[in-house]
Every structure is written in C-alpha cells, then in structure tokens.
Structure 1
Amino acid sequence: MVDIRKVPTIQDVARHAKVSTATVSRALSTPGRVSEGTRARISEAIRATGYTLNQTARSLRQRTARTILVALPDIRNPFFSSILDAVEREASGRGYGVLVVNLYLGRETACRLQDYMLSNRADGLLLLDGSLDLETLRAMTMAPHSVPLVVACEEIPDAGFHTVLTDNARAAERATRHLLDLGHRKIGHLLGPEHNIVSRDRLAGFAAALEQAGLAPTPQWLFRGNFEMESGFSAAARFMSLSDRPTALFAANDESAIGFLSGLRQHGLQCPRDISIVGFDDLGVAPHYSPPLTTMRQPRETLGRMAAETLLDVIENGADGRETLRIVLNSELIVRESTAHPPQPVPAR
C-alpha cells in the first residue's frame, strides 16, 4: 500500500503557531519585522509540521527570482572576500541567493548586468564598483524597469543611488597624521588607479593632513599604482632611484603596500628602520607580514551586511517616497610594527 501523506502548508504552520499566514510569510521573508517571540513560535511550528518552503514555486507565483546580483571590479582581490561573505549571510538569512559578476569586461559587462536584471534573473543589484557608465545604470533604475540598486565601497557622485561606503578621505588623513605624529616630515604616497574615486579621496585626505602640518605633497614622492601588489613592487624601484627619499609612505591599500615592502627588501632596505609604511584595508595578511603592517581597518563585514540589508529592504518594501541613503562607516587606525620614528641622521665625522 502506498502511504500518501498530505504535504504541510503555510496554513498548517499558521494554525500551529496561532498566527496569521501573513505573519508566517513575513517571518520567513523579512524576519526583522516579526518579534523574537513570534519567530520562535513559528520556528517551532515549522519543525512540528515538517513544512518546507518551496522557494521555486514561491518565486514563480510572485514573479521574483529571490536572488540579488553582486557586481565587483576584481574577484581576485582579497579585499572583497569578507564583504561577499557578509552579503551572502544577510541574503541567505532573508531567503535570497547571490549571483556574482566580475566587471573585468568593462562596458560589455555593463550590458551583461542589464541582461541579468531585465530578464528577471535577479531582483536587485549591489554594485561594488563606481566606474560603470552612469547612463547605463540610470536606464536600469528608472521606469519602466526600476531595478533596485545599492552602490557600496565606491561612490558615484551626484547619481542619487543608495550608497554604503567607508570614510576614505578622513581615514587617509588619519593615516598620514599618524606618520606626522611620529615626527616624519618627508612623506610620500603610493596612489591607486588614477581615475578611481577611492584613490582620489585617499589622495585628498593625504594632502589635507600635510596641509594642516604646513606641508605640501612632493610630486616626486607620489608613486603611481593600481591597488595591485605588482604596482607597489614597481614603485619600490622608482623610490630607490631618488636622490632625496621620503622617510615614510602612505599606500592607498594593503596590497600595494606589501608589494612596496617586498621591493624594498630586495634592495636591502628594512621597514621601519629605513622607512615607515602605512597601508589601507587591513587584509588578513596585514598582521602576519614582516613587519606586521600598520593600516586603516575598513569595517568590511559591516559594510557588506548593511549594503545587502539596504538592497533587500528596497526590494521588499519598494522605493516610493524613500529617502536616498548615504551611509558612511568609520575606519580604524591599527598600529603595528611597520611604522616608527624617522631614522636619525648619521652625524658627520
């Protein structure tokens, strides 16, 4: 004999928990909108009834994908790992999957983003790159498509998109002031990509700290880079070619700082004996490098969680009348062994 059992439904869960089906639905899709006690009763009712959410059927009924798309400039960059982890955790907790797109194809990738969003394969876009064509993004976010969009990590000025980022200019100013407080007056800067807004903000913070100390950036101490380790390694060779060298350097990110340190080591220089170095990001390798790297710690997990939370709120609650959010998180100076007082001049014999 075949044992045919009735598949438990959301109505069964609601009856067992003594709540409405709408409350059960809210608890499953947006648990933050349901009290902890009610969520506990619903969780117990789900276990007791054996109810399993059929996400595919639900998505078909609601004509949603229950998926968000995350677009980032370089998936190889370890900076994004903890951000993506936080995004996935927040999305999963609210019943959403995550798709990741690498933006290395430039404008072609922007067209791919349009294909994803306008074919209903994702319900919203979390963009971790401020360099995409603004008109392409506006075309997606305006009627009739009205794709929910949140920009994180990098800002797109005057675009009017919800944005979650860190205090790049102020953090760079604090990093440079740390070197000034140690007594350095000859301070260089290893820049990021020339047209990147994060690079520009960190350069602006560097220059502001120098100006407050009555100094100005020295052009030959501004080393071009692109946030990659290899660019820091190359900058070390340019540093060695100078007849008058800075005693300290603020690097636009940790990867380039580590590349610079590696390059100096090949030339026989030691940090911080010969030069002090501050990075930016506090990557996982920063405290374990030799020497451990002084750096600005970005709250990457918080950034990822808040960006995902903002996007999911827009997806679920709509954007009508919603004020455009601009959330700026503070970075923290982490002092380690790569910074010290400037070397004392050797007295003449």
Structure 2
Amino acid sequence: MTKKTPTIQDVARHANVSTATVSRALSVPEKVSEATRARVSEAVRVTGYTLNQAGRSLRQRTARTILVALPDIRNSFFSTILDAIEREAASRDYGVLVLNLYFGHETVRRLENFLLSNRADGLLLLDGSLDTHTLRTLSAQAGDIPIVIACEDIRQSGFHTVVTDNIDAAERATEHLINSGHRQIGHLLGPEHNVIARDRQAGFLRALDKHGLPAPTEWQLRGNFDTESGFAAAARFVSMGARPTAVFAANDESAIGFLSGLRQHGVICPRDISVVGFDDLGFAPHYVPPLTTMRQPREALGRMAAETLIDTIEEPDALPTPLRIVLRSELVVRESTARIAQPEPVSVPVRGIATS
C-alpha cells in the first residue's frame, strides 16, 4: 500500500500546536519561541514532512493563483460572477481555485486549512458570514495574504470591498410597485442571518415608510433564497385574510417558486398579484410571466473584484486605504407587475406593524 504523504496537519498534531503555528515556524521562525521552533522541527523530522516548492511559492507570492471562496456553489447566482473572475484572472496570467464554504461551522476551519496547505496568492471572499477578526487572523496566519470582499458585504472589515447597492435597489424595486398604484405590499424574505437579505428588507421597509404605507409582519414571509422556500411561502400567502396586492421577493429563485405555488392555488400573476424579484438570473425573462426584477451587474462585480485583488497582490501598497466600490443595480420591468387603476383602501392584519 502507498504510504500517505505527510501534511502540515500531521506536523501540527505531532508538535501539539496549530497549523498556523507550524506555518509561522517554517516561514517566519523569528515570530515563534525557540521551544516552539524546536518542537516543530522535531515534528517535521519525525513525520517526514517536506516544505515543497508549492509552499515556498505561497509565501513568496509567486503561485499566480487566486482563491475564490463562496457560500454555496449550487446557487446559479454565482455563475456569472465566477466566469468574470476567471476571465479577468486569465487575462493577467493567473489561475483560479474555487472553495465551496457550504459547511456551517466548518467554514473557518476549512478556509484556514486551505490557505495554509494550498497554493494561492490572494483570497476573493464572496461570503459575508465571517467576522472581521476571523478574516484578519486568517490573513496573518497565511503570511498577510491579500483579501478582497465581494458580493456579500462585511462592513468596517478593513479590506477592499466590491458590492452592489442592495438597500437602495430594494427601495427602488418597492417604489416601482408603489408607483404602479399598489398600497398593500408584502416581502418574501431571504435567509434570516444573511447580510444581503437584511439589506433588501431594510430597503423595502424604507420605501414603505417614506410613503406612509403599512408593513405588517404577516406580509413579510420567511424565505431562503431558493424556489422551495418561495413555493412554501405561496401556501402561507393564500391562507391570509387580508392579502397584499404585490410582493417584492428577495431574489429571483424565491420569486419563481412563489409564482409557481400561487398558480397551483389559482392565484394568477399579474391579474391577481404583482411580483418583483432581484438579480435578473438567466431564466427571469423566460418565465411565464417574464419576471420584473433588479438586475445586478454581476459581470462587472466579478471582474472588478478580481482586478482589485490582483492589483493588490502585485502592488501591495498601491491602495493604502481600503477601497470600497458599490455598483448600481438596474430595474428591469417585465410582465409580472401591473398597474392598479384604483388603489384599494389599505387594510392590514390586526396583529401589528413591523418596525425593523
């Protein structure tokens, strides 16, 4: 049987230290104690671990490869972004590695192991679930590896950031329904702890507040950025007494699931309800009815994020202060929204108004 090649994790276990400590002891030995250096050196000897050329390339920033970490590779939203990242990287002679972080509490451990054990010159992070302290620690452990945050915002992170205008775009989507005569407007939410979902809910509520319109909690339906949650929300919607005449969905996939579920209950769009989505995914113009939605500039987001990361890799001090780029989304009006000729008097459920 072929003997397994020893890894940095094997060294860490034998020396009873973290992989980050092993990495520091091998790359910047002056930053660890003499006793720790001795334990790591002995563990390297015993395990037979070899600090190969790939590892040296990582520390010397010569791999010409970037790591893209995203929350769920199954989500079709990321396809255009990844394509743009790869095209920009290839144009500058960089390769791209993709890491799927859809593993709950294992996210930080997997990302740490990947940065310390694999070959990348920088990290492009599309996941907003990590906190600033964790990111700074990961960067330091990997030899101050450059990090650019994109898509899902992490505010006050101190890293370069490229995002879209989720709050403003959600407000404009809701304004479109208000300008079409709707006064009873619901919201199909995204995941509860997702920063994008919270921002889009905030924009929705801001538009209603500006026009003095109600936002009952019953009209804000829980969702999860997928068709299944949208379909389930439709069943809750039809069971309501007083229903909204329009719904702003936090993304296109949940909007499509919602419309499909409504159709099964005999509720037809836009005859009985208007629906606006978010993202303008490839299927949005081809659904029946074609979906009104906010078009995110996903290609520009991916390209500019990759460009910013590679610029930082090649000239670390070129941008001394964190760069923050916010791209504007575009309202695309299709047939899933219609004007109400005579707005009905506002009728709301008796259980109260949402304030946040």
Return the offset for 1:107: 3.1
Q: Which amino acid aligns with 1:277?
A: V
Aligned to 1:324: 322
Check conservation: 1:247, 1:343, Cα contact below 8 A: no
Quick one: distance in 2 between partners of 1:97 and 1:220?
A: 48
Quote the Cα distance in structure 2 between the aligned partners of 1:141 and 1:173.
35
Q: State whether structure 2 residue 176 is matched by structure 1 residue 175.
A: no
Task: Note closer, same or farther for the CA distance 1:286–1:124 as it changes in structure 2 (3 Å cut).
Answer: same
Matches within 5 A, 1:37-56: none
Matching residue of 1:207: 205
Q: In terms of mean alpha carbon deviation, does 159-168 or 273-282 score higher?
A: 159-168
CA 1:63 to 1:329, structure 2 compared with 1: closer, same or farther past 3 Å? closer
Quote the residue 1:142 is aligned against. Answer: 140
Q: Which residue of 1 aligns with 2:286?
A: 288
Given residue 237 of structure 1, which amino acid in structure 2 is its aligned partner?
A
Counterpart secondary structure, 1:258 = helix
- CA distance change for structure 1 residues 344 and 144 in 2, over 3 Å: closer, same or farther? closer
Query: Counterpart of 2:145 in 1: which secondary structure?
Result: coil
Determine the C-alpha separation between the residues in 2 that align with 1:247 and 1:61.
Answer: 58
Matched, 1:223 2:221: yes
**Which residue of the partner structure matches residue 255 of structure 1?**
253
- Could you tell me how far apart the structure 1 residues matched to 2:130 and 2:152 are? 11
Larger CA deviation: 58-67 vs 131-140? 58-67
Deviates more, 1:224-233 or 1:315-324: 315-324
Match of 1:233 among 206, 231, 239: 231
Distance 2:231 2:282 in 1: 19
Letter of the structure 1 residue corresponding to residue 164 of structure 2: T
**Paired amino acid for 2:125:** L
Residue of structure 1 equivalent to 2:3: none
Question: In structure 1, how many angstroms separate the alpha carbons of the residues matched to 2:263 and 2:316?
Answer: 54
Cα deviation, residue 119, structure 1: 3.3
Where 2:312 maps in the other structure, the secondary structure is helix
Q: CA, structure 1 residues 144+231, in 2 after alignment: closer, same or farther (shift >3 Å)?
A: closer
Deviation, structure 1 residue 158: 1.9
Q: Any unmatched runs of 5+ in structure 1?
A: 1-55
Distance 1:144 1:112, change over 3 A: closer
- Deviations, residues 141-197 of structure 1 (Å, cap 9, x unaligned): 237721100010111122111110000000000000000000000000000011111
* 1:1-349 → structure 2 map (5 Å cutoff): 64-119=62-117, 121-142=119-140, 145-319=143-317, 322-342=320-340
Cα drift, residue 83 of structure 1: 0.2
Task: State the shift of 1:114 in Å.
Answer: 1.6
Task: Output the CA distance in 2 between the equivalents of 1:319 and 1:115.
Answer: 27
TM-score when normalising by structure 2: 0.78
SS at the partner of 1:256?
Answer: helix
Give the conservation status (yes or no) of the 8 Å contact 1:273–1:343. Answer: no
Aligned in 2, Cα 1:152/1:298: closer, same or farther, shift over 3 Å?
same
User: What is the distance in 1 between the residues matched to 2:65 and 2:124?
Assistant: 11
1-side partners of 2:304 and 2:180: how far apart? 35
Maintained 8 Å contact 2:182/2:343: no
Residue-by-residue CA offset, 1:211-240 (whole Å, 9 max, x unaligned): 111113111100001101100000000001
Q: How many aligned positions are there?
A: 290
Q: Distance in 2 between matches of 1:238 and 1:283?
A: 25
Compute the TM-score of the two structures, normalised by the length of structure 1: 0.79
State the Cα distance separating 1:80 from its structure 2 match.
0.3
Q: Distance in 1 between matches of 2:114 and 2:264?
A: 47
